[in-house]
Amino acid sequence: MGKSVKFGEKTKTVGKVIELIPLGGLGEFGTNCLAVRYGDEMLIVDVGMGFPEESVYGVDVSVPDFDFLEEYRDEITAIILTHGHEDHLGALPYILKKFNVPVYASHFTAGLAESKLQEHDLLDDVLLHRVEPRDVVELGSFSVEFIRVSHSLIDCFALAIKTPVGTIIHTGDYKVDETPVIGEPIDLRTLRRYGQEGVLALTSDSTNATVPGRTPSERAVIPAFEEIFTEAEGRIVVSTFSSSIHRLQIVLDVAQQFNRKVCVLGRSMVKNVEIAERLGYLDIHDGLLVSLNESKKLHDSEIVYLVTGSQGEPRAALTQLATQSYKGVTIEEGDTVVLSARIIPGNERGISRLIGEIYKRGGKIIDEKRRLVHVSGHASQEDIRIMTEAVRPKFVVPVHGEYRMLYRHKEFLKNHVGYADENIILIENGDVLELDGERAHVTGKRDVGRTFIDDSGFEEIDRETVRERKQLANDGVVTPVITLSEQTGALESPPEIVSRGVIGVDGASNGFVKEMQGVVTKSIEGASKEERRDTTLLKERVRVDLKRFIQKQTGAKPVIVPVVVQV
């Protein structure tokens, strides 16, 4: 170890460094993943998934490209999960298939992780450790304490990662909620203790860094729900994130208060309610929950449907209720639909369509713009102040969010908390941030791309395939079919051109098609004997020549797939 000397209130270790390498979550929503490296040891904090723009090309979600970690295979000590949201644990099966290392998580997060690992047939092969708040785990040179924080989900942690260089506090997703619906409030006492002892760096949630003031408590939505239940004469349909266990408990409690039964619809909602009840996080009165068939027998004023689909997902329960029939149940005149969730950026169009369908069927819609039926789970500016002043780090590294949020986080700390510009470090995915106890600076950049997952949720799709799909959607495909003599390599007949979705090409009568035939013929006639014998070389020659011609003539870049038939 290096020599330890005092640096103000902090301890500096000369000659040793900590590296922070974000694999995702900076400059974007979702895909949160951070590598923390000291010497030849590495921790992975969170392994989240995201929802890419390429979803229309058969891509459901994306996860970090964990191939970057291959060179550190023998260094990875453990994966630590701060909480159970998909953008923090959704990629767990995919990283464990490559690097089977121990996983540390809270009881509820572990319950969600188990369900996901079971789907991928990994549960029996993974060492999953459950930890409690204030537990300390020794992992080589790292010592990690799990600190309770408040969030829209339950059983969430900030992490105090002690290293020979200094302590890193990682907030995870958090807000300062003194009155959560379930569980204990954020543990500011422990955070302040670390602040007094000295914290080298705080990696801090930036999602709501543009929002002034404090984020309301989860309990703030209760009055609005009570008003809605008082006013509604027909059925009530509540759609929220299935992981928002605080919100689910509120709906269950208010339903009990107003003598309504609750029917839970949607695979993830049913699963999360079952996990939360089994682990003792949800308090559900006997007889409160009813099946779908039982719900159909009740009067409209006696039932609440708790459903998935607040983001307008096409296959979710709410969309099916609004557009067709969900196992014999549909939205009808007199129903009240409560959208108790924020709009995730990128989902605006789908949610707008969903709302239109609900209105068409005569449903009444209540969302966060009309009533306080949703509060964020993320720290607003004054929460950020409370966290930062409790921890008192030497350096602050904004994480989680688009770059504008990271930047506003920095501006707020400079203008309102008194941090100097050089003590707030903005980094992006792939940056290697080096901390030596005195300085913090980016020393390199790693290629940390994305791995795309198909609609089944199990198969990985490489970036080149997604690029080709996007190209097909935008520019179409051209297939030159070439028939050659197997003996001489000469053309047996003029090339055929088959095109789909290419602007300006409408069939064999099109003059441009004849020009493409001429280009292919000329390309083959100019090929060497070696190229004619090797169909792979010949296809590439034709592809390049035809691509250049089409691009020069039309500006389009279709996918070109030559087919060579030897007779």
Helix (H, G, I), strand (E, B) or coil at 276: helix
**Count: domains in the chain:** 3
Higher pLDDT, 11 or 207: 207
User: What pLDDT does 371 receive?
Assistant: 95
Q: Which CATH number fits the domain that encloses residue 22? A: 3.60.15.10
- Whole-number mean pLDDT of the chain? 90
- What mean pLDDT do residues 238-261 have? 97
Q: Which CATH number fits the domain that encloses residue 522? A: 3.10.20.580
Q: Is residue 469 part of a domain?
A: no
Condensed to tens digits (0 to 9), the pLDDT of residues 373-405 reads 999 999 999 999 999 999 999 999 999 999 999
Phi/psi of residue 142, each to 5°?
A: -100, 145
**Does one domain contain both 226 and 299?**
yes
User: What pLDDT does 57 receive?
Assistant: 65
Give the H or E element holding residue 103: strand 103-105
Percent of the chain with pLDDT over 70: 92
**Does one domain contain both 304 and 159?**
no
**Does one domain contain both 29 and 124?**
yes
Condensed to tens digits (0 to 9), the pLDDT of residues 46-56 reads 999 987 654 55
**Does one domain contain both 76 and 178?**
yes
**Does one domain contain both 185 and 307?**
no
User: What pLDDT does 9 receive?
Assistant: 41
Report how far apart the first and last C-alpha atoms of the chain are (Å, whole number). Answer: 72
Q: Say what the alpha-carbon torsion angle 357, 315, 313, 328 is, to the nearest 10 degrees.
A: 40
**Does one domain contain both 329 and 392?**
no
**Does one domain contain both 340 and 412?**
no
Q: Is residue 286 part of a domain?
A: yes
DSSP 368: T
Going by pLDDT thresholds of 50, 70 and 90, the confidence category of residue 554 is confident
pLDDT surpasses 90 at 61: no
pLDDT surpasses 60 at 283: yes
User: What pLDDT does 508 receive?
Assistant: 47
pLDDT surpasses 90 at 364: yes
Residue where a domain stops, chosen among 366, 399, 416: 366
**Does one domain contain both 338 and 232?**
yes
User: What pLDDT does 293 receive?
Assistant: 96
pLDDT surpasses 70 at 462: no
User: What pLDDT does 8 receive?
Assistant: 31
Residue 422 is part of which domain span?
10-214+376-461
Condensed to tens digits (0 to 9), the pLDDT of residues 97-118 reads 999 999 999 999 999 999 999 9
pLDDT surpasses 60 at 70: yes
**Does one domain contain both 32 and 170?**
yes
User: What pLDDT does 58 receive?
Assistant: 64
pLDDT surpasses 70 at 15: no
CB 381 within 8 A of CB 412: yes
**Does one domain contain both 24 and 156?**
yes
**Does one domain contain both 334 and 414?**
no
Residue where a domain stops, chosen among 461, 493, 514: 461
**Does one domain contain both 56 and 187?**
yes
Condensed to tens digits (0 to 9), the pLDDT of residues 186-214 reads 999 999 999 999 999 999 999 999 999 99
Q: Is the pTM of this model over 0.95?
A: no
